[in-house]
Amino acid sequence: MARNETVNVTLYGDPTLSTYGIAASAVSAAATQMNFRIAQALPLIGMQTETVSRAQFKFIDFFLPGMIGFTILTNALFAMTPVAAEYRSRKYFKFLATTTLTKGEWLLSKVLFYTLIMTVSALIIFGVSAVVWGGKAVLTPLTFAFIAAGCFEFTSLGMALGMYTKDVETASAVANAIGFPMMFLGGTFFQIEAMPPIIQGLAAVMPLTYVNEGLRATMIFGNEAKALLYLGITVVLGLVFFVLASRALSWKSK
């Protein structure tokens, strides 16, 4: 064989598979090492790796923020939607009109109520995770900010849905139709990155996605910039739902 001739190694595989890139990199590295040995040369540049994550996390650490987001959704949305529909259909809002409460104050009182419940629930969930499973996720100030913002968002959404449905049964059905897809596609139980592209696109428009991913960013990865971005998105969506709910709510409900 002439000195300038090259021997090629052919790798057969499907480039669409995630393992193809790993196999190609391994074969390429092996070929490079063979070239160095044949040429009796040594590489001038090497590579070493260092772990930069704060801790070695378990599945429970990924699962914990999702469960907090899941509980926020179920407590606020599923409870508030039928309550709003019942108050409207039974004309309870007319009785509230005799008080000094404004519509915004009444709605904010519900937000504070669910925020208090969720804060206690999150502390219990976190405690069980740490004691029973040895979870290493941390509670940060942004964790509690997400709890408040998530309760604000889903309480407002529940109120808006309840005001636009004709009765309690319909309101519950609508809340389930909106809430259940968010449970499974909003990153509660499964990583969004592992989902098909079309499902990832659906997840991107679901409010729960930003609560779950924001909680993971602050509780697991310490990525406060990403957490603040997702907190901002959650607050903006909450304000939109709050305005819709306030406009639909009338102390003189039909």
Cα distance between residue 159 and residue 84, in whole Å:
6
* Token pair recorded at residue 228: 């603040």
pLDDT of 5 reads 66
**pTM for the full predicted model:** 0.74
Please check whether residue 13 lies inside any domain of the structure: no
The set of residues, in sequence order, having a beta carbon less than 8 Å from that of 104 and lying 6+ positions away, is: 246
The set of residues, in sequence order, having a beta carbon less than 8 Å from that of 251 and lying 6+ positions away, is: 93, 94, 96, 97, 103
Whether residue 72 contacts residue 154, with contact meaning beta carbons closer than 8 Å, is answered with yes
Domain that holds residue 212: 59-248
H-run or E-run covering 50:
none
Please check whether residue 46 lies inside any domain of the structure: no
Please check whether residue 44 lies inside any domain of the structure: no
- Exposure letters 147-185 (e unless 16+ CB within 10 A, then b): bbbbbbbbbbbbbbbbbbbeebebbbebbeebbeebbeb
Q: How confident is the model at residue 176 (pLDDT cuts 50, 70, 90)?
A: very high
Please check whether residue 204 lies inside any domain of the structure: yes
Q: How confident is the model at residue 118 (pLDDT cuts 50, 70, 90)?
A: very high
Q: Please, what is the average pLDDT of the chain?
A: 85
**pLDDT surpasses 50 at 254:** no
* Token pair recorded at residue 43: 């590489």
Q: What is the pLDDT of residues 43-60, one digit of tens each?
A: 667 666 655 544 567 788
Please check whether residue 43 lies inside any domain of the structure: no
**pLDDT surpasses 50 at 179:** yes
Please check whether residue 28 lies inside any domain of the structure: no
Cα distance between residue 92 and residue 84, in whole Å:
10
Q: How confident is the model at residue 163 (pLDDT cuts 50, 70, 90)?
A: confident
Please check whether residue 162 lies inside any domain of the structure: yes
Number of domains in the chain: 1
Please check whether residue 54 lies inside any domain of the structure: no
* Token pair recorded at residue 145: 């900010």
